[in-house]
């Protein structure tokens, strides 16, 4: 059994991770810590476990094997580095850190401590992504030329019940979040597009502050890949009813995914009509389950350090592109 401490309820997915831990036969929640003591105390009471105000006391506790980190993103590097130094396994919300330098420091600390780090990139486990990857790998679209991925919701749209939108107010705090829609919700289109198109060469972005003074709430990023493919990443907090869309275009066909509908057309199929796949690959274990299997069995996770590193790298490049109004080559990011 892996004894875990929950570190903060700041992120909207913190409760999801706690639920996954509670439902796991391999994890037991033993403690809660939160940078907001009042919030943490309440959460601990709801979960029926002790609350600890002192992070050092949590991490030095020999009964704690691992931590689940849902702190503000600006605390990730600090908290995760200390957790690694105390030889605790780490599961964390994306993004891992704000800069590639911080990401590399975390990777080095985790390797030195010989602990397992998992960043929650759940859409890499989904059957639709696995099918898209299979289509690309088999060359069913010919040479991949364009990937478009859109994920947006209405979290910043004002309603009578939520005048500032249903997202927590702190999701619009630049200091804590490091950004807005792109760094949070846009992470999913970024890591999906990266996986499908390969190594990144350059980024051109527009991060729009439509309603928020501090962070972007609507964003588009064009990614140039070394393969020659273009990635078009769209995200935002201002779109009611926006479906998830993943589109792949190649010299010999196209694959369109919109929510649960999947269609493919190509020279390897009937060129005149769209076909629906008869069967999709089985989904992979969710990130938390992969993390458990790495800790207990030494399994190789499907979510890699490269996925995690490139996610931060593109966010850095997109922020610089918007700030300076230009195309940014990845070699510029230090």
- pTM comes to 0.95
Residue with more model confidence, 37 or 212? 37
Q: Which of 119, 142, 176 is the last residue of a domain?
A: 119
Q: Cα separation of 173 and 180, whole Å?
A: 8
* pLDDT over 80 (residue 292): yes
Q: Could you tell me the residue range of the domain that residue 179 belongs to?
A: 123-332
In this prediction, residue 160 carries a pLDDT of: 85
- My answer on whether 10 and 33 are in the same domain is yes
Q: What's the CA gap between 59 and 51, in Å, rounded?
A: 13
The whole-angstrom separation of Cα 73 and Cα 35 is 12
For residues 88 and 219, state if they share a domain: no
Q: Are residues 98 and 164 in the same domain?
A: no
Whether the pLDDT of residue 209 is over 80: the answer is yes
Residue 230 CA to residue 252 CA, distance in Å, equals: 16
Token duo for residue 22: 């509670």
Residue 334: pLDDT above 80?
A: no
CB distance 100 to 334 below 8 Å: yes
Do residues 185 and 313 share a domain? yes
pLDDT at residue 80 is higher than 80: yes
pLDDT band (50, 70, 90) for residue 162: confident
Residues 142 and 254 in one domain: yes
Residue 105 has pLDDT above 90, yes or no: yes
Both 90 and 180 in a single domain?
A: no
Say if residue 113 is in the same domain as residue 134.
no
Same domain, 227 and 79: no
For the chain, the average pLDDT equals 96
What's residue 273's pLDDT? 84
Say what the pLDDT of residue 213 is: 77
CATH of the domain at 241: 3.30.360.10
Average pLDDT over residues 111-126: 98
| Helix 305-324 and helix 187-197, axial crossing angle in degrees, nearest 10 | 110
What is the pLDDT, as a whole number, of residue 270? 59
Q: What is the mean pLDDT of residues 36-59?
A: 97
Q: What is the pLDDT of residue 163?
A: 84
Is residue 212 predicted with pLDDT exceeding 80?
no
pLDDT single digits (tens) 231-275: 999 999 999 999 999 999 999 999 999 999 999 998 665 566 899
Question: What digits encode the pLDDT tens for the residues 122-141?
Answer: 999 999 999 999 999 999 99
For residue 297, count CB atoms less than 10 angstroms from its CB and return exposed for 0-12, middle for 13-18, buried for 19 or more. exposed
287 Rama class: left (phi>0) / alpha (psi -120 to 50) / beta? alpha
d(CA 252, CA 216): 36
Q: Are residues 156 and 270 in the same domain?
A: yes
Of 137-151, 157-171, 214-228, least confident by mean pLDDT is 157-171
Q: What is the pLDDT of residue 185?
A: 97
Q: Look up the CATH number of the domain holding residue 99.
A: 3.40.50.720
DSSP state of 74: G
Which of 119, 140, 172 is where one domain is finished?
119
Structural domain count, the chain: 2
Asked if 103 and 152 sit in the same domain, the reply is no
Residues 47 and 99 placed together within one structural domain of the fold? yes
114 and 130 both lie in a single domain? no
Q: Among 87, 119, 151, where does a domain finish?
A: 119
| Residue 51 pLDDT greater than 70, yes or no | yes
Distance CA 244, CA 242 (A): 7
Is 294:274 a contact under the CB 8 Å cutoff? no
């Amino acid at each position: 059994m892996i004894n875990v401490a929950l570190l903060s309820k700041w992120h909207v997915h913190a409760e999801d991770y706690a639920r996954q831990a509670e439902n796991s036969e391999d994890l037991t929640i033993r403690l809660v810590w939160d940078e907001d003591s009042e919030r943490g105390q309440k959460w601990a009471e709801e979960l029926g476990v002790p609350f600890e105000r002192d992070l050092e006391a949590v991490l030095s506790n020999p009964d704690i094997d691992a931590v689940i980190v849902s702190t503000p993103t600006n605390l990730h590097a600090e908290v995760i580095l200390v957790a690694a130094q105390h030889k605790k396994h780490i599961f964390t919300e994306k993004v891992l850190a704000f800069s590639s330098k911080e990401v590399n420091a975390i990777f080095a600390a985790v390797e030195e401590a010989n602990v397992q780090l998992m960043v929650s990139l759940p859409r890499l486990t989904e059957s639709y992504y696995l099918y898209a990857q299979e289509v690309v790998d088999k060359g069913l679209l010919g040479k991949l030329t364009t990937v478009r991925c859109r994920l947006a919701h209405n979290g910043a749209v004002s309603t009578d019940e939520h005048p500032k939108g249903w997202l927590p107010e702190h999701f619009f705090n630049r200091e804590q979040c490091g950004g807005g829609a792109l760094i949070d919700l846009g992470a999913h289109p970024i890591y999906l597009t990266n996986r499908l198109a390969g190594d990144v060469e350059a980024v051109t972005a527009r991060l729009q502050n439509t309603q928020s003074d501090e962070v972007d709430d609507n964003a588009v990023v064009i990614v140039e890949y070394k393969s020659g493919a273009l990635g078009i990443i769209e995200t935002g907090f201002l779109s009611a009813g926006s479906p998830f869309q993943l589109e792949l275009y190649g010299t010999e066909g196209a694959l369109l995914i919109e929510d649960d509908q999947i269609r493919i057309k190509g020279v390897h199929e009937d060129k005149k009509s769209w076909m629906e796949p008869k069967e999709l690959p089985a989904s992979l274990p969710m990130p938390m389950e992969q993390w458990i299997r790495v800790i207990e069995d030494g399994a190789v996770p499907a979510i890699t350090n490269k996925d995690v590193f490139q996610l931060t790298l593109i966010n850095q490049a997109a922020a610089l592109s918007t700030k300076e109004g230009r195309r940014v080559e990845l070699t510029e990011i230090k």
